[in-house]
Amino acid sequence: MPGDLGKMAEAVIGSMDWASAVLIIMLAGIFMKRTGQTPIATIGALFLYAFAQIGIQAAGGGDAQKLADSGVAAFLNLPMGSFIIYFAIFLTSIFMVHSVKAVIQK
């Protein structure tokens, strides 16, 4: 079981578009008011990331309607292990950005 999670984590990390993920994480961490909002900010950031991926593919010449339909279907069919890995990556990253912001503001 742990080996499967490790392989899944490698696949998720290898397939991420890091430029859009870092931008979304930075914005979520900076605009967050309190540390307790981290889980909600993470869910919002994951939705933004999913829509950004559809937008990037559509801007690259794909059919926007087909991309949106397949993107929503892919999100609904995302294995729970992959979702947890995405959630953990975004959660810890947003928390770290917000913590740095809080230290700088004091």
Residue with the two structure tokens 């930075």: 26
Query: What pLDDT, on the 0 to 100 scale, is given for residue 97?
Result: 95
Res. 39 pLDDT band, cuts 50 70 90: very high
Distances (CA, A) of 91 to 1, 4, 6, 67: 23, 22, 18, 26
pLDDT of residue 5: 66
* CA distances for 58 relative to 24, 31, 50, 51, 64, angstroms: 19, 27, 13, 10, 5
Place of tokens 């975004």: 90
Q: How confident is the model at residue 28 (pLDDT cuts 50, 70, 90)?
A: very high
Q: What is the average pLDDT across 4-21?
A: 74
Q: How far is CA 63 from CA 15, 69, 85, 105, in A?
A: 21, 10, 29, 44
What value does the mean pLDDT of the chain take? 82
Confidence of residue 10 (pLDDT cuts 50, 70, 90): confident
Does pLDDT of 29 surpass 80?
yes
pLDDT at residue 2, rounded to an integer:
55
pLDDT, tens only, 63-91: 767 776 776 677 667 777 778 888 999 99
